[in-house]
């Protein structure tokens, strides 16, 4: 941390709130994926950085940007109103997450200085726990009926196997993947390239509303902010980083979905593709991927086998990664409500745990990610492997 003589210049912003408020402000200043802004943030901290950007005539205090570019940051910083944005997200029933928060998905830290400044989140479930057991299903907006069919099958199949389906809420493949997961009563996360209260694309406003109710809608952009071409592209790195693997269903050459897949590969995540007819331009990008880093899959079982295989936390192979005592009380109640033998539906379980089915489902996915429960079709049961303490890992791992 550098504390220069101009630190006093940031007093007005610092006075306006905590580091969290400064980060909220910076989501309006630093564009998604901006590594220069990310480096400043890492070096100076959010309050200090915001202070320097809002101080009068302070161009030399931030290394690595041209005068013109710095002027852009300063202009955006001058109009940022984090208090209003935090009020807006609260009014929408959402929250703002910062790195270090209990719910922050640490997978995103793999992005280094391109890590999101913060995440705006709507929906009940715990993002960190859901991300542990998530897979991205992405692809072309103008997909073929075959692509839509495959995305739906994968969304449903992955949800039925207890995986959280992450996508971008776009038309075509993304929407089909979300809908497939929702239709199975499963878990799904939409990562938007705009404010999480915006509901873009328009035609998916109701779908996004359903995802807020049954899953999570997240994004880097503050409330009300709109998508741009570069924001779409850069949103993809969040999808890639958040998940264990990215499945591309249909994609033309040079498509955004391939960006997501290649980003996943760079981050050491699984890069996966669904083949299609060799004559289809909408499969050409996927085939390109499959000739390189991509692994070919034809159904949800293939995907689950791949992403479940070598995950650090794969609960199927190790048992729970957290002792029961550390569960939060509401999740513990859901766990308690499960019968010792046999499986129950979400509705019945919600009744037993004294909460709503949506809340129960969110907690079940948490418990699943942590290895406490198993899903069998529409029913849930206690996992059959023995519970091990956190330090009780088997030798060899």
Interaction site with a second copy (CB under 8 A): 146, 149-150, 274-279, 283-284, 287, 290-291, 295-299
Q: In this structure, what token pair is assigned to residue 296?
A: 């070919």
Euclidean distance between CA atoms 377 and 385, whole angstroms: 19
Half-sphere exposure (Cβ direction) of 378: Cα atoms closer than 13 Å: 9
| Coil, strand or helix at 218 | strand
Distance, in Å, from the CA atom of 177 to the CA atom of 237, rounded to the nearest integer, reads 18
Q: How far is the CB of 70 from a second copy (least distance, A)?
A: 47
Q: Which residue, 272 or 322, is less far from a second copy as judged by CB?
A: 272
In angstroms, what is the minimal distance from the CB of 52 to a second copy? Answer: 51
Least Å distance, CB 281 to a second copy, is 10
In terms of CB distance, is 120 or 163 closer to a second copy?
163
* Cα 352 from Cα 366, distance rounded (Å): 18
8 Å CB contact between 167 and 174: yes
Q: Min. distance of Cβ 171 from a second copy in angstroms?
A: 21
Residues 148, 141: Cα–Cα separation, whole Å: 10
Residue with Cβ nearer a second copy (135 or 338): 135
Least Å distance, CB 312 to a second copy, is 24
Q: Which residues contact 349 (CB under 8 A, 6 or more apart)?
A: 334, 337, 338, 360, 364, 380
**Which helix (H) or strand (E) element contains residue 18?**
none
Q: How far is the CB of 139 from a second copy (least distance, A)?
A: 13
Cα 72 from Cα 260, distance rounded (Å):
28
Other C-beta atoms closer than 10 Å to the C-beta of 298 total 12
The residue among 165 and 297 lying less far from a second copy, judged by its C-beta, is 297
Output b/e per residue, 129-149; b: 16+ Cβ within 10 A.
Answer: bbbbbbbbbbbbbebbebbbe
Residue placing its CB nearer to a second copy in the complex, 146 or 232? 146
To a second copy, the closest distance from the beta carbon of 255 in angstroms equals 16
Question: Is the CB of 281 or the CB of 311 nearer to a second copy?
Answer: 281
Quote the least distance from Cβ 359 to a second copy, whole Å. Answer: 35
Nearer to a second copy, 209 or 292 (CB): 292
Q: Per the structure block, which two tokens stand in for 387?
A: 């519970």
Assigned token pair, 73: 């940051």
Of the two residues 169 and 272, which places its CB atom closer to a second copy in the complex?
Answer: 272
Cβ 284 to a second copy, closest distance in Å?
7
Q: Measured from the CB atom, is 181 or 272 closer to a second copy?
A: 272
Give yes or no for a contact between 165 and 125, defined as CB atoms under 8 angstroms apart: no
User: Three-state SS for 89?
Assistant: helix
**215/197 Cα distance (integer angstroms):** 15
């Amino acid at each position: 941390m550098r504390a220069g003589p101009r630190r006093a210049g940031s007093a007005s912003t610092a006075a306006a709130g905590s580091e969290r408020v400064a980060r909220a402000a910076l989501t309006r200043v630093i564009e998604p994926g901006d590594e220069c802004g990310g480096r400043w943030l890492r070096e100076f901290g959010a309050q200090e950085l915001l202070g320097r950007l809002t101080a009068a005539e302070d161009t030399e205090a931030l290394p690595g940007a041209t005068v013109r570019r710095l002027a852009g940051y300063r202009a955006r910083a001058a109009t940022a109103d984090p208090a209003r944005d935090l009020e807006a997200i609260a009014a929408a029933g959402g929250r703002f997450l910062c790195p270090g928060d209990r719910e922050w998905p640490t997978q995103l830290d793999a992005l280094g200085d391109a890590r999101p400044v913060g995440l705006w989140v709507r929906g009940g479930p715990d993002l960190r726990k859901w991300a542990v057991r998530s897979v991205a299903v992405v692809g072309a907006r103008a997909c073929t009926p075959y692509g839509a069919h495959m995305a739906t099958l994968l969304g449903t199949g992955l949800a039925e196997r207890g995986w959280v389906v992450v996508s971008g809420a776009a038309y075509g493949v993304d929407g089909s993947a979300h809908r497939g997961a929702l239709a199975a009563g499963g878990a799904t996360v939409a990562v938007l390239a705009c404010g999480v209260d915006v509901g873009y694309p328009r035609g998916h406003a109701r779908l996004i509303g359903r995802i807020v109710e049954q899953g999570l809608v997240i994004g880097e952009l503050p409330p009300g902010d709109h998508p741009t071409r570069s924001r779409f592209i850069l949103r993809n790195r969040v999808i890639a980083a958040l998940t264990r693997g990215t499945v591309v269903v249909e994609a033309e050459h040079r498509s955004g979905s391939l960006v997501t897949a290649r980003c996943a590969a760079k981050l050491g995540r699984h890069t996966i593709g669904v083949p299609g007819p060799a004559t289809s331009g909408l499969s050409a990008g996927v085939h390109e991927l499959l000739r390189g880093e991509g692994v070919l899959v034809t159904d949800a079982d293939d995907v689950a086998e791949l992403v479940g295989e070598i995950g650090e936390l794969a609960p199927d192979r190790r048992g729970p990664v957290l002792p029961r005592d550390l569960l939060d009380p509401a999740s513990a109640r859901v766990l308690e409500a499960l019968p010792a033998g046999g499986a129950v539906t979400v509705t019945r379980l919600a009744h037993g745990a004294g909460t709503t089915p949506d809340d129960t489902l969110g907690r079940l996915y948490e418990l699943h990610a942590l290895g406490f429960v198993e899903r069998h079709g529409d029913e849930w049961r206690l996992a059959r492997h023995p519970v091990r303490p956190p330090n009780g890992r088997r030798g060899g791992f």
